Amino acid sequence: MSIEIQRVTKVFGGFKALDGINLTVPSGELVALLGPSGSGKTTLLRVIAGLESADEGAVLFDGEDATQRHVRERGVGFVFQHYALFKHMTVFENVAFGLRVRPRRLRPRKAEIADRVTRLLKLVQLEHLGNRRPAQLSGGQRQRVALARALAVEPKVLLLDEPFGALDARVRQELRTWLRRLHDEIHVTSVFVTHDQEEALEVADRVVVMNAGRIEQLGTPEDVFHRPANEFVMHFLGNVNVFHGRVEGGKAMFGDLYVEHPVAAGRPGAAGDEPKDAKVFIRPHEWDISAHRNGRPAMEAVVTHVNAAGPVVKLWLLSESGEPVHAELPLDHYRALELRSGQRVFLSPRQVKVFFD
Amino acid sequence: MRWGLTGAAVAFLGLMLILPLVVVFATAFSKGWSGFSAGLADSDSFAAVKLTLIAAVISVPLNIIFGLAAAWAIAKFEFRGKSLLITVIDLPFSVSPIIAGMLFVLLFGAQGWLGDWLAARNMRIIFAVPGIVLATVFVTVPFVARELIPLMQAQGREEEEAALSLGAGGWQAFFRVTIPNIKWALVYGVILCNARALGEFGAVSVVSGHIQGVTNTMPLQIEVLYNEYKFVPAFAMASLLVLMALLTLVLKHWIEWRSARSLAQIGSGPDRAIAPPR
């Protein structure tokens, strides 16, 4: 089922949590709402679910207006960050709940309920734990019970609020991969909220980057990472070095460096135009590092700290003008360069991103 | 040192708590079983027991309904005047019961604001059973709500939201999710409320008028008997109240033990420790 959000606004006592949001989630897609806390992503998810009502705007399911529909009639499965399992019920009872509370004429027979619950527990790999209470499970197991419980009512939309937020790093990683596989298996339209850019980029078909109640960018993980629409997205999707400089005559200048930055005639900073102040963004892995000048425009810097634990080596440097610079390079490059703390190196950016002030 | 302290504590408790209890029962049975039963067989005493039970039977259910509604509203919703409501719920705890009684006399008494209106309709509240019930309800208002509010606030709204998203109706969510989660706190509040309803003296004393056999509750009847130097009947009735109190304590203890056990069973895992995000 497709979801369409039209000009949705939500205000909490003077605080604009959502500010005229427009978004379409095509049927069968797995979409991540990514943003810092307070960006409105959870509120948007709750508005889709019907747990929160929009002050303005509409929510459409398959083109049909569902704005006034109560949460229990929306047919959504909602997975809470802290699971919200029914503590006094067994795992089996938790999963069966949505079927048991149906009106008598729609309620499956006992044997059928048992059958469906067993199948779902198998799907989430917990078939042997049906008699346990939620408190007797680990966090990852609880989250899978919550997922099975949400799937039991055969929702047309699955909504997950920071589904892995309360789990430790290893379980998080496991569940991420597992959620992606599960989605490929059952193909239910899914929206999940996260503040972890790695999680969003790894799991989702498309990523919605949110900030201050607005959508900053919507695109595939590749899009938002490599072609960020603005400064905010650039910052939010990973570490980045920022330099204040200007664009002049088709070049971006910052510090003692310049890079080609062709600008179409008529746009600010185009050749022959006045110089325009700009910020230059360079991702840590976009630096070429050499021990000697090699003719390319380069920034001189001193290595201050090295972290070589892992396949990618992290370098912290200080440029000539005293700005801290962050760089990453593959382990074999690092070894070939024989870098040490205190060493003078030359940094040339392979790729930059320029946003005007 | 340890023995000295323990001894002092035991001696103090014995003097202040155990000895009076012993005195109550000793006096009640000072003329033997026949004296005890004769003291209670009196029709006025019987009426007092009945009135006390009526007051409790009416005020406890009212308290449950009000307590649940108030705690629900306070814990699960945001609204203006919420802290005012919490304060108002505590009012019966903070004012003297005498004042509570006077309040009803000023409202419903013959010279009170609504006195003429009531008299015209031939309705009596003060110096009658309705007044006793009203006063009892007033002084017991906070008990259930006070037990439930912190618990329900800590539990948040997520489990109910989960139930609704799974298709449950409001009442289904209430009976299948909310009530099981607050069961023991509710029972505990009811027990405390009941104990207070049975034992209330001050507020009830003001509105009662001390009409023997009509508006005297057990505590009031005890006072009347005592003032008439009828020690055996007075203490016989007092022993009944003490027995009810002891029974309440045993029940309370049992509830605490049960809820501690069920908590250990359903656990206080990390999902309870962390407040839901907003």
Contact (CB<8Å) A72/B165 = yes
Residue with tokens 């309440």: B248
What pLDDT was estimated at residue B29? 87
Q: Which helix (H) or strand (E) holds B39?
A: helix B32-41
Residue bearing the bigger pLDDT, A258 or A157: A157
Distance from the B271 Cα atom to the nearest Cα atom in chain A, whole angstroms: 6
Residue of A nearest to B175 (CA): A101
- Which residues, in sequence order, are bridge partners of residue A247? A252, A276
Q: Considering only CA atoms, which of B95, B115, B93 is closest in space to residue B105?
A: B115
Q: Which of residues 58-77 of A touch B (CB under 8 A)?
A: 70-72, 74, 76-77
Range with lowest mean pLDDT among B48-62, B129-143, B171-185, B256-270: B256-270
Whether A162 has its CB under 8 Å from any CB of chain B: the answer is yes
Q: How far apart are CA B202 and CA B136, in angstroms?
A: 10
Q: Considering only CA atoms, which of A258, A259, A257, A276 is closest in space to residue A267?
A: A276
Residue of A nearest to B274 (CA): A82
Residue B272 pLDDT > 70: no
What pLDDT was estimated at residue B278? 37
Cα–Cα distances (Å) from A64 to A1, A55, A58, A74, A97, in that order, read 11, 19, 10, 11, 28
Cβ atoms within 10 A of the Cβ of B110, count? 12
Residue B266 pLDDT > 60: no
Cα–Cα distances (Å) from A312 to A334, B180, B263, in that order, read 9, 52, 47
Q: How far apart are CA A51 and CA B176, in angstroms?
A: 19
Going by pLDDT thresholds of 50, 70 and 90, the confidence category of residue A265 is low
Q: Nearest CB to B168: which of A72, A74, A134?
A: A72
Whether A116 has its CB under 8 Å from any CB of chain B: the answer is no
Q: How far apart are CA A154 and CA B65, in angstroms?
A: 36
Packing angle, helices B82-94 and B142-155, rounded to 10 = 140
Residue B267 pLDDT > 60: no
Phi first, then psi: what are they for A11, rounded to 5°? Answer: -120, 130
Residue contacts between A and B (CB atoms, under 8 Å): 103
DSSP class per residue in A164-216? TTTS-HHHHHHHHHHHHHHHHHH--EEEEEES-HHHHHHH-SEEEEEETTEEE
What pLDDT was estimated at residue A21? 93
Contacts of A52 in chain B (CB under 8 A): none
What pLDDT was estimated at residue B277? 38
Contact (CB<8Å) A166/B267 = no
Distance from the B159 Cα atom to the nearest Cα atom in chain A, whole angstroms: 5
- For A204-239, letters b (16+ CB in 10 Å) and e give bbbbbbbbebbbbbbbebeebbeebbebbbbebbee
Token couple for B13: 């408790």
What pLDDT was estimated at residue A255? 76
Q: Nearest CB to A88: which of B162, B172, B266?
A: B266
Distance from the A20 Cα atom to the nearest Cα atom in chain B, whole angstroms: 20
Q: Are B188 and B51 in contact (CB under 8 A)?
A: no
ipTM score here? 0.83
Q: Which residue of B152, B155, B166, B262 to mutate against A (max A Cβ within 10 Å)?
A: B166
Contact (CB<8Å) B176/A150 = no
Going by pLDDT thresholds of 50, 70 and 90, the confidence category of residue B263 is low
Residue of A nearest to B276 (CA): A82
Whether A243 has its CB under 8 Å from any CB of chain B: the answer is no
Q: How far apart are CA A96 and CA A92, in angstroms?
A: 6
The whole-number average pLDDT for the span B87-101 is 89
Span A297-355, pLDDT tens digits:
888 999 999 998 888 999 999 988 888 999 999 998 888 888 888 889 999 998 888 88
For chain A, how long is the longest CA-to-CA vector?
80
Kindly calculate the radius of gyration of chain B based on its CA atoms and give it in whole angstroms: 23
What pLDDT was estimated at residue B245? 84
Span A94-104, pLDDT tens digits:
999 999 999 98
Q: How far apart are CA B116 and CA B122, in angstroms?
A: 10
Contact (CB<8Å) A86/B163 = yes
Q: Nearest CB to B159: which of A51, A86, A165?
A: A86
- Which phi-psi region, left, alpha or beta, contains residue A337 (left: φ > 0; alpha: ψ -120 to 50)? alpha
Residue of B nearest to A86 (CA): B159
Whether A98 has its CB under 8 Å from any CB of chain B: the answer is yes
Contacts of B265 in chain A (CB under 8 A): 133, 135
Cα–Cα distances (Å) from A254 to A270, A279, A289, B126, B265, in that order, read 17, 9, 18, 88, 63
Residue of B nearest to A48 (CA): B165
Distance from the A146 Cα atom to the nearest Cα atom in chain B, whole angstroms: 9
- Pairing type for strands A3-12 and A15-25 reads antiparallel
Span A7-58, pLDDT tens digits:
999 999 889 999 999 999 999 999 999 999 989 999 999 999 999 999 999 9
Q: Which residue of A11, A48, A81, A86 to mutate against B (max B Cβ within 10 Å)?
A: A86
Whether A92 has its CB under 8 Å from any CB of chain B: the answer is no
What pLDDT was estimated at residue A44? 95
Q: How far apart are CA A183 and CA A165, in angstroms?
A: 19
Cβ atoms within 10 A of the Cβ of B261, count? 11
What pLDDT was estimated at residue A168? 84
Q: Report the range out of A219-228, A267-276, B249-258, B263-272 with the highest average pLDDT.
A: A219-228
Residue A84 pLDDT > 70: yes
Distance from the B43 Cα atom to the nearest Cα atom in chain A, whole angstroms: 49
Mean pLDDT of chain A: 90
Going by pLDDT thresholds of 50, 70 and 90, the confidence category of residue B7 is very high
Residue of A nearest to B182 (CA): A88
Q: Which residue of B271, B272, B274 to mutate against A (max A Cβ within 10 Å)?
A: B271
Residue of B nearest to A71 (CA): B165
What pLDDT was estimated at residue B276? 38
Mean pLDDT of chain B: 86
Contacts of B179 in chain A (CB under 8 A): none
Going by pLDDT thresholds of 50, 70 and 90, the confidence category of residue A207 is very high
Contact (CB<8Å) A135/B159 = no
